[in-house]
Amino acid sequence: MTFGEQPGAMLEELRAAFPKATLYNDESRLYAWFERVRDFVLLPREALDLPVDIQGTAFQSRVWKALRQIPLGDTASYGAVAKRLGEPSATRAVASACAKNQIAILIPCHRVIAADGRLAGYRWGTERKRQLLEREAAEDRV
């Protein structure tokens, strides 16, 4: 899962990330998942619970799991996530794990903000992060 402007560029990014993989179009099997993701982006109502397979360190995996537990419409600071993990001094490590997340929306690193409430960093741009948070907050109020 990623965001991008050009499908060809996104495919090249995928090939670069997985140079030994054989890529093939499995649209019929994945169609329902694509529909759920599209619907979520347009009108987020509930957290997406689709299977993910992402490689990372043990700490990154713990961070990514914690991010999936931040409720739709809520945010948490990098420091708050670190505290939830029992690692209160690991704020920068949490931010690093967020930066290494390659799965947009399903691992909702867009819900992690700076301690002062700013929208700090986002792999796909802070404007997209703002838009995602606004949509989620609007749906949360409905």
Q: Known catalytic residues?
A: 109
Q: Can you tell me the distance from the alpha carbon of 1 to that of 115, in angstroms, rounded to the nearest whole number?
A: 27
Q: Which amino acid is at 89?
A: S
Residue 120, CA distances (Å) to 82, 109, 142 in order = 16, 11, 27
Residue 85, CA distances (Å) to 17, 68, 69, 101, 124 in order = 28, 13, 12, 17, 25
Nearest CA to 112 among 142, 84, 138, 141? 84
Q: Can you tell me the distance from the alpha carbon of 114 to that of 70, in angstroms, rounded to the nearest whole number?
A: 15
